[in-house]
Amino acid sequence: MIGLGCPKQERSIAKSKHEFPPTCYLGIGATFASHAGEIDQAPPIFQKFGLEWLYRMCKEPRRLFRRYFTYNSLFVYYSLRS
């Protein structure tokens, strides 16, 4: 499990992907920080609909907007392209 946050964890996985099969890597982002109590967990309604990222972005828009907009847009683009 790699919890460095985007894009650090993705770069780390890409750099070491030759060491283990791809199924051995799991990018978990802020999960460690959430369980350690460093950041608030989203309310249950956000969790139920998979919108914890939206809750975090509303709490820290200056830090997370560019990251989420850039990388989520790329994910959607490449998903639709394939």
Q: Which phi and psi angles does 2 have, rounded to 5°?
A: -120, 120
β-strand partners of 27 = 2
* 68-77 confidence digits (pLDDT tens): 888 889 989 9
pLDDT at 53: 86
Highest mean pLDDT: which range of 14-18, 22-26, 29-33: 14-18
Contact present, 18 and 42 (Cβ < 8 Å): no
Burial of 42 (0-12, 13-18, 19+ CB in 10 A): buried
* 44-69 confidence digits (pLDDT tens): 999 999 998 899 899 999 988 888 88
Instruction: Write the DSSP string, 2-63.
Output: B-S-TTHHHHHHHHHTTTS-GGG--B-TTHHHHHTTSSPPPPHHHHHTT-HHHHHHHHSHHH
